Each structure stands twice: as structure tokens, then as C-alpha cells.
Amino acid sequence: MGFDLREGTAVLERTPATFRALLGGMPDEWTTCDEGPDTFSPFDNVGHLIHGERADWIPRAQIILAQAGNRQFEPYDRFAQKRESAGKTLSQLLDEFAALRAASLATLRGWNLTERELALQGEHPALGTVTLRQLLATWVVHDLGHIAQTTRVMAKRYRETIGPWRAYLPIVDR
Amino acid sequence: MGFDLREGTAVLERTPATFRALLGGMPDEWTTCDEGPDTFSPFDNVGHLIHGERADWIPRAQIILAQAGNRQFEPYDRFAQKRESAGKTLSQLLDEFAALRAASLATLRGWNLTERELALQGEHPALGTVTLRQLLATWVVHDLGHIAQTTRVMAKRYRETIGPWRAYLPIVDR
């Protein structure tokens, strides 16, 4: 399956509204639950996506596009949101994510990337050589994965409550 | 984890808007992809949820609440949407789901269910005796599961495109 920018951005531009529809105004029970130590609650998922806008996707794309001597990405802090979201409400995070994502997409569109640029390479600190195309496709999959993760965390609250239906709903045991 | 109606309906009432945010106006590539024969595309997921409003959740709750001689549920057709969605656009399905869900929740709220009623039982054709509380909790988990399924199906389109990041994104191999 190839990747084109129009198609990829169709997902990226919808993610903030999807999280807002799913989580906006929700009782705290649904937004603070998690899967145990060092796992993400729905609240943490939004904070993690915010950190990605600041530290991951566009900054890494810029490293690739610059094609300077050092093309190595900064390691990514998966738990940055524990610090960065402190004291904020979910409503604030949803607004912040929407604003940052809109800015990221404006930057991305402004680049008018060509096929040649999509093939340019950078160095991931653990995965080695990657292309700009792979980075942008990963951004899309990462969004979708965090929507899935958020709904899975929520679903698990009712693992016991659904009784025998648990056999039909693998999401609560994933 | 218990189940209360206020909390459960907080999820149920958000699902139509979540699907609209995720899929409304999307290019067809994202809404018609699936995971192979007899699997659901994002379009199929919405049709499946529509069928559930008509044939599953409220009708089964009514069977339980009636406490008549025969409390056995009708078997559920997991592939009814192949027939029922034929000729419809995704936009039509999103509207239809929103309208049916709103009606379902109006019915549910109108019942003013008590703890005693939530403990009433019905007979699932395969799973045996279940309670109304279990049925309603399952409705919630089922919604969340289909949001997760929809994003998983979409993510898999880029399984190869993300290159080495596949190791970090288990959603594409689930």
C-alpha cells in the first residue's frame, strides 16, 4: 500500500475532532482509567499526542528535509505527558492538541512535498535509516493506534460487568 | 467495576459523533478497506452498529423487561449490514446511526431503570442466562470495540508503508 499526502492528511486532520467527540465532557471515570503502572489513560493519550506535535513528527521531518550532516532524530520521551499535562484539564488538552495539529498540518502543506523529498532519509535512534514517507505514514498509524488504545482502556473498565459476553468482546482482554 | 446508567450512556451518546469525526467526508480508500473475507470495513462497522440499534440492544432489553414466558433473544445477524447498507452512502449511514442511537437513548432514559430491573434476566441463544445490566454494559463495550476495530482496519493499510516502525505499532499486526 502506497502513501500519498492527501490521503494521509485526511486522517491526521480528523484526529483532534475524534478525540473531542469521544472524550469531551466525559465523566472522569472514563478519562483517568488506565491498564496499570506505566500505561496511558485516555487523558494521557491526548497529552502524548500533544507531545508528538511538539517533539516528534514535524521536528523529525525537518531533520530529514534539512539533510544536514547529522540526520539523527532526538530520542522520543513516551512519558513526557506525565510532566507536561500536570495541572491541565482534559478540555485544555483537547484544545491544545487541535491547535498544535492544525499548525503541524499547515507546515506540512506549506512544504508541498515531492516524491523525491518523501524518499529522503533520516536516522532513527533505535530503528536506523527511515524515509520521510515512512515517518509521515507512521504519524497516521500512530494517531489511529492511540484512538484504538483509548477505546480499549475504556472498554476494560467493564471486563467483569459484561459477564458471559466477554467471550465475544476480545477488546477487554487485549 | 460496577455499571451505572449515567456513566454507560456517557459513552453511548458520544459514539455517533465519534464515527462522524473519524469518517465523515473521508476518501473512499479509508472507508472501504477491510481485513479480508468476512471482515468489516469502516463502512461496514457503521452499518453493523445501525443494525444493533434496530435488532439488538433495545429489543433485547425489552425482552428482559417484559419477563414473559419466553425470554430468549433472537439470534443476531452479524452480517445484516451487507444487505441493509446496500446502495447507501457513508454519510447516510452516519445520519441514520445518529438518529437511531438518539431514539434508543430516549427509550432507555424513559425506562428510569432501577437496580432491581438491571438485575432481571434473559436468555442469550448461545451464552445462556444474562442480566439487563450485563446487556447494557455490553452495548458500551461493543461501541468501543467497533471504534477500535475501525481504526485498526484503517491502520493496516499502512502496514508496509511504515517500514521499520512496524515494530513499535502492534495495531497493524493485530
Q: Whole-angstrom Cα distance, residue B136 to residue A162? A: 8
DSSP letter string, A22-77: HHTT--HHHHH--SSTT---HHHHHHHHHHHHHHTHHHHHHHHHHT-S--BPPPP-
- ipTM over 0.85? The verdict is yes
Helices A15-23 & A42-55, crossing angle to 10 degrees? 160
Band (pLDDT 50/70/90 cuts) for residue B132 is: very high
Q: Whole-angstrom Cα distance, residue A119 to residue A127? A: 17
Q: Which of A124, A161, A171 minimises the CB distance to B144? A: A171
Report the residue of B132, B147, B152, B160 to disrupt the A interface, i.e. the one with the largest count of A CBs within 10 Å: B147
> Is the Cβ of B131 closer than 8 Å to some Cβ of chain A?
yes
> Is the Cβ of B121 closer than 8 Å to some Cβ of chain A?
no
- Binding-face residues of A in 11-50 toward B, CB within 8 A: 11, 14, 17-18, 20-22, 26-27, 29-30
Would you call B163 and A11 a contact, using CB atoms and an 8 Å cutoff?
Answer: no
* Helix/strand/coil for A121: strand
Q: Which of B29, B141, B155 minimises the CB distance to A171? A: B141
Would you call A20 and B21 a contact, using CB atoms and an 8 Å cutoff?
Answer: yes
The C-alpha of A20 sits at a distance from chain B's nearest C-alpha, in angstroms, of 8
Residue B70: per-residue pLDDT: 92
**Burial category of B72 from C-beta neighbours within 10 Å (exposed 0-12, middle 13-18, buried 19 and up):** exposed
Residue A20: per-residue pLDDT: 98
Q: Is the pTM of this model over 0.95?
A: yes
- Binding-face residues of B in 55-94 toward A, CB within 8 A: none
**Taking 80 as the threshold, does the pLDDT of residue B39 lie above it?**
yes
Residue B78: per-residue pLDDT: 84
The C-alpha of A84 sits at a distance from chain B's nearest C-alpha, in angstroms, of 23
Which pairing describes strands B121-124 and A121-124: parallel, antiparallel, or unpaired? Answer: unpaired
The C-alpha of A54 sits at a distance from chain B's nearest C-alpha, in angstroms, of 19
pLDDT in tens, B41-83: 999 999 999 999 999 999 999 999 999 999 999 988 888 988 9
Which residue in B10, B22, B23 sits closest to A15, CA to CA?
A: B22
Type of residue found at A106? A
pLDDT in tens, A69-109: 999 999 888 889 889 999 999 999 999 999 999 999 999 99
**Burial category of B105 from C-beta neighbours within 10 Å (exposed 0-12, middle 13-18, buried 19 and up):** middle
> Is the Cβ of A99 closer than 8 Å to some Cβ of chain B?
no
Would you call B162 and A2 a contact, using CB atoms and an 8 Å cutoff?
Answer: no
**Taking 90 as the threshold, does the pLDDT of residue A65 lie above it?**
yes
Asked if residues A164 and B127 have their Cβ atoms less than 8 Å apart, the reply is: yes
Residue B82: per-residue pLDDT: 86
**Taking 90 as the threshold, does the pLDDT of residue B17 lie above it?**
yes
Band (pLDDT 50/70/90 cuts) for residue A2 is: low
The C-alpha of B1 sits at a distance from chain A's nearest C-alpha, in angstroms, of 6
